[in-house]
Structures are given as C-alpha cells and as structure tokens.
Structure 1
Amino acid sequence: MFSGDADADLRQLADDPTFPHHDAARHAVRFRASGDVAELIAVHDDPHPCGMTEVVFAMAGSKRPWLNWVPMPSEAISNVANEIGGRRARGEQLKVTRLGLSSAEPASAMTACRRIAGPVDIGIAEFPPPDIRAPVRPGRYAVWRYDGTEPLPAGPAPSAAAVRLLQDVADEPWQSPLSGYVKADPLGELPLDDLLGLLAHLPGPPDTARWQHLAKSTPTYWYRLMQPWVCLGILHHAKDEPWPTSTRRQVLVDLAFGVEDWVADAALFALVTAAYREPDLREEVRQLVRARLDAAVAANRLVTIEESLAQLMIVTPGCRADDRALATAVLARAAQDDDDEEPAPPPRKRRWWQRGS
C-alpha cells in the first residue's frame, strides 16, 4: 500500500478525496515541511481517530529524532567505545586498560563504555561547574550515585526476567511514540526496582542479527535506545494512580531533573509521550522540557545531551514560539560546531582520550 517514502505517501493521501483522513494527511505533510508540532498534534487529535490515523502519525514522524529514533550518543567516551567495540567485533584483538577525559561525561555513557570495552580505568581531568554529579533538582528517585569520580548504580541489579523482557520489547526503535507506548506495556508490570535497575545496570543487547550488525559500528546505541524504552515502561507503572500524585509521574520528573545523563532525556521523552496521549498534561510537560533545556543552555560548559533536549523540545506538544526559537538556536550552534574545520576555541568544547595496556 505504501512505497516507503513517507513524504510521497503522505502527499498522495492528502490529495486523495476518497481517503477518509485526508485532513490528517495534510497536517502531516505540513509538519514534514515546517516542523511545527501543532500540525502533528492535529494529526493525533483527528476527530475520528482510528488505526489509520496512527499510521499517518507514524509517517509524519518518520526518520525524525525522538518521534522515530533516539539520537545517537555524542560523547567522546561513546566514540571511543564504538571504535573499540567495532574493531573487536570485526575480529581485531584490541586491549584497552586506560582512557582519559578532559571533563566528566554522563554516567550512562561511562557505563556503556565499560560494558563494551571491559573494566577500563577512566581518568577525568575535571568536573567543571555545574557539577555533572549533582542533580538539577533534588528528588526522591535516582538511578546513579557517585563514589568520588566513579558513577555507580543507586539500586540493585534487575532480575534476569526483567532483562529478558527488555531485550524482547526494545529490540527495535518505535514506529512512533504512540506505538512505542503500547509495545512497552509489559515493562510496566515489572517492579519499580527492576525498572530503575535496568536504567543503571545497562544489560547487554539481544543476540539478534540487528545488534550483531550494529556491534561492528555503533555498539553504544543499544544502551542509548534501551533507556527510553524503560521509561515508557515506567509510564505504565501503577496506572491506576491519579497522574498528579502518581509514582510514575514522580519517578520520571525526578529522573529528568537528576544528574546530567542519558536517563534525563529518556525520562522526558516518556513524559512527552504522555502529553501526546493526554491533552490535559501538555502544558505541564512543555514546562518541564523547557526547564530542563534551560538548565542545559545555562551551563557554562559542554552538555552532551543539550542537542537531544532541543530536538525533544521541538516535538513537545504545546511547544511555543519562544521554546522553538531556543531549541532551534541550540541545534544551529551544534551544526556550526560540527561544520567547523578548526577546533572550537572555548575550552568547554575540547575533549581528549588515551589508551594504554
């Protein structure tokens, strides 16, 4: 029925007077062209929702960050882990015992590196302010604690059954946040300790052809992808509790404003998914995403999740003109940094690593 070209397929549906949801398709076409999330919300809020409107929604978000895939890890330690893991997966006997970073990077990235490279000693030259180890806001729930410079899980390891369930649910990116929410439902049956344990202990990927292939190029991506899946599972936890006082809300908000980490934007993604599904939550969630993006922008140093937070802001229901302007400025600056042939002059942009045996 569809060609696989989302733009062409949506234009065809929008121009087809016999297609019962051609208005939704027109909104989807406009979203693809403008990026205005109000157009995407119009698709979701179609007056006659059905399985086909969900298909149109998924096509609208095809190949867009957070709507269809999780941004790739961008940390220096992640790049090193990808090189080490990729070379080993291709058969090279590579031994690495020591790495160095000019400044601290997220705990999840550090832990993912060790999952791939083994028990590597990682030296960190400095923890520039604001200290990455300190939560943005105090909260009850956390997945990381620090022993000096070392990030450690704040709770117990997940059960073997929880790991198997995660590997089954999270094998692929979601077609859309809506379908991802549905697929993550079984994770919501896990105890909360299991869900929090999955976020920090970072179990390995499923033994499938997809992840065997990615092991040769970007083995860190599994760890980046699995955490939003777990947070979608948290969104299903104790669903009978009223949202304002629910455990699921408190956990996700605490993680979003915890230590600077992949878990933060993963938790916000789950909240954004809730906002798509529940219009009454949209303003609260918009404020939360904006507040976390503001905190990243205000930091006078490199924040590796800043770009992904900006990408998430742009697709947050209710995103205002000022929210979009800030997010667009962040993304433009990141693109400029990527295009610069010379190293960026501010010290906060410099990172290095080394290896030894």
Structure 2
Amino acid sequence: MFSGDPDADLRGLAGDARFPHRDAARHAVRFRETGDIAALVAVLDDPHPCGTTEMLFAAACAQRPWLNWVPMPGEALCNVADEVGRRRVEGEEMTLTGLAVSAAEPPSATAACQRVAGPVDIAIDEFPSPDIRIPLRSGRYKAWRYDGIRPVPAVPAPSAEAVDKLHEVAGEPWPSPLSGYLQAEPLGKLPIADLLGLLAHLPPPPETRRWQHLARTTPTYWYRLLQPWVCLALLRHGDEGREALADLAFGAEDWVSDAALFALITTAYREPRRRAEVHDLVRARLDAAMAAPRVVTIEDSLAQLMLITPGCTPGERTLAAAVLTRAATPAPPEPEPPKRRWWQRRS
C-alpha cells in the first residue's frame, strides 16, 4: 500500500474509488498540502477507525517536525559540543576547558553539551528577564533546579533498569505520535520517579549503528530525542502523569517543556475530550515565549507544536508561521563588534 513516497501514496488512495477509507486519505492529502491540523484530526476521527486509518495518519505525519521527528538542538552550547564531538570522532585530540555564553541556555542543552564535550566550565554573562531559572507556574513536579547559576537535577538518578528500557524504546524516531505512544509502553511501566530521573540525568545513547553514525554529525541530538519518549511514557500514569507533564511544560524553560507539550498533544489526538484543555496549554506556553524580550531557544519548537495541536485556529497558524519565519531569517549584521562571542575556548 505504501511505497515510501507518502504524498504519492496518499494521492493514489484518495483517488481510488475502491479504497474503503478514501475520505480519510483525502483528509491526509489536504493536511500534507495545507498544514491544516483539522484535516489531520479528521483522519483519526474516521467513522470506521482501524489499522488502515492509523497507517494513513502515519503517512500524513511523515517528515513533519514533532509528528515524525524531534527538532534538532539549536543552542550555541550544542553547536559547539557537536563540533567538538565530530572532530574527536575524526581522530583529533581536542580538550575544551571552558565556554562562555552571553545568556543562559536551557538546562538540558547545558547538560547535553557537557555529556558530549566533557566537564567543561560554562560562564554565563547574564540571566536576562524573564529569568530562565524561574518556572512560569509552580507545580509538584520538576526536572531541574538551579544552584545559583548552575542547573542541577531536581530528582534522583534513574535506575539501571530505566536506562535499559530507554535504550530499548528510544533508539529511533516515531512514525507518528500514536505509534510512539504504543512503543513507549515498556517505559510507561516504570515509576514516575524513574521517568523524571531520565529527563534530568540524561543517560548516554544506546550503542547502535544509528547512534554511532550520529556521533559523527550531531551527538547532542540523542539528548534532545530521549525526553519526548520519556514524556510519552508519563502518559501511562493517567491523571498523575498528565499533571506531571503540565508542570514540566510550565517549569524552568527547557527542552523538557516542549517534550511535555508534545506528549499532551498526543493525548489530544487519542482522547477528543481533552483537546480544548491541551490546546489552551500549548497556546499559553507559546504566548509566554513570544512575550519574552529575549531569545527563547525553544520558541520555534513551540510554534511547530502549536501547528500540530488539535483546535489550532487559522489565526494561530498565522502566528506560529510568523515565529518560524522570524527564526529562519538571518539577523542583521551587528553595527559594532560584539563584546563577547557566543562561545570561546578558555584556558
């Protein structure tokens, strides 16, 4: 049924009068062509849902951010760490003792940098307002806290079993959020404490061919990918898991924030009664990022999440598209040399 070209496959099925889920295929084509999330939701809301409609949903999700793959890290610290990792894999002996950034970056990006580059000292020029260390809302659950300017896990380390389960589950992207939810089931059997531990302590990648390859290009990507898998697993804990995800989404600004929202969006696909609530959470988190008078490194990711949230309105699509256009537009040249580069080696 599917050849590997999702657009051609879906158009063929939509035009096949003998195909029993022709309407669902048409909705999938419309989503691929317009990005209208209502069309994607209509695939799921087919009057006769089955394995075929789930395959149509996955085909519609193909090659789309968050629906099929997690956005790459964009932080300055990760860019440096990826360069260091690449050069070491190529055989260069490289020691990095210190970095300096003009403004604080998310705790997970900081941790990913240090996992790849080593125990590098990171100097931070400032914590511009709104302070990245301060949660947007108070809640019971959190992954990170700060010891002064240094982010540290707010939870104990995960068990060895939890790390093994993570490696078992999270080695590849998901074909769609629905299949990701199913694939995360073994992780979901772990206690919440273990799952929170995985979010903050960032275990190393599995020793698979895929991750050996990515070590040559973007070694920090594993640390970006693992967190949404863990958040999908939190959904298995019912009301408590959803509460934890909402707290994480509005906690200290981090990769965990958008990973948690992604899991909640997956709930909205699976449970129509939760769609309005999830939509409001995603919009509120995007609004907070847009209102910040400083760089929010996860803002474009939040905009991508808004675009795949059931209930996203035409106005919100325009808003999210504007965020992504701004993120893709090169900044104008500095009128004067900056006081300090985004990063530098320090002796």
TM-score by length of 2: 0.97
Q: CA deviation at 1:346?
A: 12
Amino acid at match of 1:102: S
Provide the residue aligned with 1:292 in structure 2: 285
The CA deviation string for residues 230-249 of structure 1, in whole angstroms up to 9 with x for no partner, is 00000112x3xxxxxx2111
Provide the residue aligned with 1:233 in structure 2: 233
Change (3 A) 1:297 1:344: farther
Provide the residue aligned with 2:272 in structure 1: 279
Provide the residue aligned with 2:342 in structure 1: 352
The CA deviation string for residues 60-118 of structure 1, in whole angstroms up to 9 with x for no partner, is 01000000000110000010111011111222111101001000000000000011111
CA contact under 8 A between 1:85 and 1:116: conserved in structure 2? yes
Provide the residue aligned with 1:217 in structure 2: 217
CA contact under 8 A between 2:192 and 2:241: conserved in structure 1? no
Amino acid at match of 1:202: L
The CA deviation string for residues 149-203 of structure 1, in whole angstroms up to 9 with x for no partner, is 1000001100011001001100000000000000001111101110000000000
Query: How far apart, in 2, do the equivalents of 1:344 and 1:323 lie?
Result: 32
Which of residues 289, 297, 310 in structure 2 aligns to 1:304?
297
Provide the residue aligned with 1:100 in structure 2: 100
Amino acid at match of 1:318: G
CA contact under 8 A between 1:65 and 1:311: conserved in structure 2? yes
Provide the residue aligned with 1:196 in structure 2: 196
Q: CA deviation at 1:2?
A: 2.2
Query: How far apart, in 2, do the equivalents of 1:187 and 1:101 lie?
Result: 35
Amino acid at match of 2:278: V
SS at match of 2:140: coil
CA contact under 8 A between 2:116 and 2:219: conserved in structure 1? yes
1:137-286 → structure 2 map (5 Å cutoff):
137-237=137-237, 239=238, 246-286=239-279
Query: How far apart, in 2, do the equivalents of 1:152 and 1:106 lie?
Result: 11
CA contact under 8 A between 1:85 and 1:216: conserved in structure 2? yes
Provide the residue aligned with 2:6 in structure 1: 6
Provide the residue aligned with 2:315 in structure 1: 322
The CA deviation string for residues 186-235 of structure 1, in whole angstroms up to 9 with x for no partner, is 11110111000000000010000000000000011100000000000001
Q: CA deviation at 1:142?
A: 0.6
Range with greater deviation from structure 2 (83-92 or 53-62): 83-92
Query: How far apart, in 1, do the equivalents of 2:336 and 2:34 lie?
Result: 33
Change (3 A) 1:110 1:347: farther
Amino acid at match of 2:116: I
SS at match of 2:12: helix
CA contact under 8 A between 1:290 and 1:313: conserved in structure 2? yes
Query: How far apart, in 2, do the equivalents of 1:134 and 1:347 lie?
Result: 31
Q: CA deviation at 1:356?
A: 3.1
Query: How far apart, in 2, do the equivalents of 1:262 and 1:347 lie?
Result: 31
The CA deviation string for residues 283-313 of structure 1, in whole angstroms up to 9 with x for no partner, is 0000000000000000000000000000000
Provide the residue aligned with 1:343 in structure 2: 333
Provide the residue aligned with 1:56 in structure 2: 56
Which consecutive residues of structure 2, in runs of 5 or more, have no partner in the other structure?
none
Amino acid at match of 1:96: L
Amino acid at match of 2:236: H
Query: How far apart, in 2, do the equivalents of 1:48 and 1:75 lie?
Result: 44
Q: How many positions carry a matched residue from both structures? A: 346
Provide the residue aligned with 2:325 in structure 1: 332
Query: How far apart, in 1, do the equivalents of 2:302 and 2:317 lie?
Result: 12
Query: How far apart, in 1, do the equivalents of 2:315 and 2:335 lie?
Result: 28
Provide the residue aligned with 1:78 in structure 2: 78
SS at match of 2:73: coil
Provide the residue aligned with 1:243 in structure 2: none
CA contact under 8 A between 1:76 and 1:351: conserved in structure 2? no
Query: How far apart, in 1, do the equivalents of 2:46 and 2:135 lie?
Result: 39
Query: How far apart, in 1, do the equivalents of 2:41 and 2:335 lie?
Result: 41
SS at match of 1:151: strand
Q: CA deviation at 1:322?
A: 2.4
Which consecutive residues of structure 1, in runs of 5 or more, have no partner in the other structure?
240-245
CA contact under 8 A between 1:199 and 1:230: conserved in structure 2? yes
Query: How far apart, in 2, do the equivalents of 1:192 and 1:50 lie?
Result: 31
- Sequence identity, in percent? 68
Q: CA deviation at 1:344?
A: 6.4
Q: CA deviation at 1:133?
A: 0.3
Q: CA deviation at 1:351?
A: 5.9
CA contact under 8 A between 1:103 and 1:351: conserved in structure 2? no
Query: How far apart, in 2, do the equivalents of 1:268 and 1:344 lie?
Result: 35
- Structure 1 residue runs of 4+, over 6 Å off? 344-348
TM-score by length of 1: 0.94
